[in-house]
Chain A
Amino acid sequence: DTGVSQDPRHKITKRGQNVTFRCDPISEHNRLYWYRQTLGQGPEFLTYFQNEAQLEKSRLLSDRFSAERPKGSFSTLEIQRTEQGDSAMYLCASSLGSRVEAGELFFGEGSRLTVL
C-alpha cells in the first residue's frame, strides 16, 4: 500500500504522559500536514511541512505540541504532558504542493488519542 500511513492507530494514555505519533507520507509528496479532529467537527489545522521545513504552525497550538520531519520523509507529532482536552483523532496528510497552492491532500487513517 503506497498511501499515507499512521502509527499507532489508537493510543490510550493517562493525563500527564507524553505521546508520539508517526506519519509516513506518500513518498514523492513534498508537503506533510497534521490536523486534529474531534467528533462532529472539521479537521483543525495544526502544522505543515514542505520537505523538512516547518512552514506554518497554528497559533492555537500550545507549546506542549511539537512536530518534526527531520529528513523530509516521515514526521512525528509529540504531545507532552497530555491533558484530557487533547483527546481527538490526529490526522496526517501529504500532498504535492506548489508555491501557490496546497495540492490535493491524501489523508491517513488517523491516530486516535484517548487521555484518561
Chain B
Amino acid sequence: GQQVMQIPQYQHVQEGEDFTTYCNSSTTLSNIQWYKQRPGGHPVFLIQLVKSGEVKKQKRLTFQFGEAKKNSSLHITATQTTDVGTYFCARAGGTSYGKLTFGQGTILTVHP
C-alpha cells in the first residue's frame, strides 16, 4: 500500500557516535521527504529527495535515495545532544500527489 516503514523505532547513542535511520517502501516512491520533530515540538522539514540514487548533505546529515527509489536513509555523523528528536520520512501518494504519508519515525536519544 502507501505505507513507509522506518527502522529502527528507537536508537540510543552516546554523543559523538553516528546514527542512521532507514525508510523502506514496497512500492516505488516518486519522492521522499524527511522531517525532524523535537520533543514537545512540531515536525520541521529537513529535505526532499527526488532522483534515483540521490545523495544530499546538510552539515553532519547525509540523506540518500535508493537506486530503485524504494528506500531512503538519513545518517548523522558525530551526533550532538541537539540532534535529539524523532526523525520521520514521508512519501507522496494517494489519489493525488499532494497527500503525504508519514512513517512511524525513529526516536533518537543522545547521551552526553
Q: What is the interface of chain A, defined by CB distance below 8 A to chain B?
A: 31, 33, 35, 40-45, 48, 50, 55-56, 91, 93, 97, 99-102, 104-110
B43 touching A48 by the CB < 8 A rule? Answer: no
- List residues 44-92 of chain B with CB under 8 A from any CB of chain A: 44-45, 48, 88, 90, 92
A105 touching B43 by the CB < 8 A rule? Answer: yes
Residues of B within 8 A of A45 (CB): 94, 99-102
Residues of A within 8 A of B95 (CB): 55-56
Whole-angstrom distance from the CB of A76 to the nearest CB of chain B?
19
Q: What is the interface of chain B, defined by CB distance below 8 A to chain A?
A: 30-31, 33, 35, 42-45, 48, 88, 90, 92, 94-105, 107
A42 touching B98 by the CB < 8 A rule? Answer: no
A41-B104, A45-B101, A97-B98 known; A102-B42 Cβ under 8 A? no
- Residue in B closest to A109 when the chains form the complex, CB atoms: B42
A43-B88, A55-B96, A56-B94 known; A91-B103 Cβ under 8 A? no
A31-B98, A56-B98, A101-B30 known; A108-B42 Cβ under 8 A? yes
Known contacts A31-B98, A35-B102, A105-B43; 7 additional CB pairs below 8 A are A91-B42, A97-B97, A101-B97, A102-B99, A104-B33, A107-B44, A110-B42
Whole-angstrom distance from the CB of B111 to the nearest CB of chain A?
20
Residue contacts A-B, CB under 8 angstroms, 7 given:
A31-B98, A41-B105, A44-B102, A48-B98, A101-B97, A104-B45, A105-B35
Report Cα–Cα, A93/B33, bound state, in Å: 14
Whole-angstrom distance from the CB of B103 to the nearest CB of chain A?
5
